Amino acid sequence: MDDTRSADPCQAELTQADFREICENLYDGIHVTDGTGKILFINQAYTRTTGIRPEDLLGRRVCDVEKEGKLYKGSVTDTVLAKRTRINSVATIFPLNKEVLVTGTPVFDGDGNIKMVVTNTRDFPELKRLEQQLHTLTEERRKADEELAYLRQQQAGVKQMYYRSQSMRSVVELIHTVAPTDVTVLITGESGTGKELIANEIYQNSSRKGKPFIKVNCAAIPAELLESELFGYEEGAFTGARRSGKAGMFELANSGVILLDEIGDMPLPLQAKLLRVLQQREIMRIGGSRNIKLDLRVIASTNLDLQEEARQGRFREDLYYRLNVVPIELKPLRERKEDIPYLVDRFCEDFSKKYGKDTHISAAGLDLLQSYRWPGNIRELENLLERIVVTNPSGIITRDVVYAALNPDGGNSHLSSRTTGTLREQVAEFEREIILRAIEREGSLRKAAKALGVDHSTLVKKYQRLHPEPAEPSER
């Protein structure tokens, strides 16, 4: 009768020669004994690792070799035979005066008796190399994690919010109410009012703090590139696409927060895709065939009136309502002038520390800053004060210094000093400037009163009308 199993290559059995050949090609040293501890086989790797030749071991019992004290000590064979389980240990190889890691494993027959003990021998230098490699990778991972945390912190922003106006108090109260949730927020306000700072504050007070925080300026990226930047693309999606494809901003923000800055400048075709992202919480890369699930929070900001943009057909109305779940409107600086003294003090302090200066602003200088309309809002105020702190040698920011900084070309279109109005209004404005300049020049109310030829009490009353006692500053 034919043996059909031998004709099937899939059923072919390995011969003893095959096993020997396999063992000779293993990287680890192999040391095999029978159930009594007699050495049956060692492979070439064992000799390479230990320097012990087959003729030194074969046919001898492990316990006798170890008792002799010439080749090795610390073998595991007898322990495996006694405990009937796998044993790990460190053995010492005398010919090479080194230590190796040995692992002995029992092999049982059908009756549960140990018929062989197979011992793997591995050189410690190799283990040390692998350990060092692991340590290096672990250290690189730690540094990468620290760098990532630092970059996320930088991305989230480190600036503080300085305010004392009631409108900003209300905004901050709303931030702390909605930040712990995942509700979509739409931040509106003129350029420079601090919309990004508000987004940072929401992120820092959310449960997603420490996760990705990706900011996309929809106005800064060309329309033809914005789709691939937001949604990513697969290999070969278009000419010039990376061979491996590219993850988009939404994928990078997954598990975290994405800020869509200047959302009002997003092209209409992309607005439809964004609406789907907000509704379905999934995207598809350009040229892709599978949907990618998203778990992220969306914050949008704009300096446009999106409701008016929707009426004009430049912004999708359904997208506007999807974004406008919680609206946060930031008033321009000219409508919250009570914030200006506090902002000025903080900026002067910050920039003095940064540039090693000791700079303070005079009352007249502050008064002029408050009379300015600030078309660039807080960003303009911050940049102006940084320039003044750096370039002003005296350390005192006077009214003339502020005036020169605000009017480098001699214009004064944004200053509110009266050149029109009733006679009473213009005289009051003129008197106000005379008093403030005198106080700044003389250095005190008493000296200014003497210079102007008025009683000290009279000047105090006039000054108090100009500068009523401010409320205590509000700071988070």
Tokens of 24: 């000779």
pLDDT band, very low/low/confident/very high, at 475 (cuts 50, 70, 90):
very low
Average pLDDT value for residue range 59-77: 92
Other Cβ atoms closer than 10 A to 434: 12
pTM attached to this predicted model:
0.62
pLDDT on residue 414: 55
Would you say residue 43 has pLDDT above 90? Answer: yes
pLDDT tens digits for range 382-398: 999 999 999 988 889 99
CATH code given to domain 14-125? 3.30.450.20
What Cα–Cα distance (Å) separates residue 342 from each residue in 133, 179, 272, 385? 54, 25, 43, 13
Q: Please state, for a pLDDT cut of 70, what percent of the chain lies above it.
A: 85
Tokens of 418: 């009266």
Q: Are 60 and 72 in contact (CB under 8 A)?
A: no
Q: What are phi and psi of 155, to 5 degrees?
A: -65, -40
Other Cβ atoms closer than 10 A to 247: 13
Q: Please state, for a pLDDT cut of 90, what percent of the chain lies above it.
A: 52
As assigned by CATH, the class of the 157-331 domain is alpha beta
- Sorted by where each begins, the domain ranges of the chain are 14-125, 157-331, 336-466
Q: Write the DSSP string, 17-39.
A: HHHHHHHHT-SSEEEEEETTSBE
pLDDT tens digits for range 121-151: 988 776 677 777 888 888 778 777 666 665 6
Residues shown for the chain: 476
Mean pLDDT (the chain, rounded): 84
pLDDT band, very low/low/confident/very high, at 25 (cuts 50, 70, 90):
confident
As assigned by CATH, the class of the 336-466 domain is mainly alpha
Tell me the C-alpha distance between 29 and 50, whole Å.
8
Tell me the C-alpha distance between 18 and 147, whole Å.
52
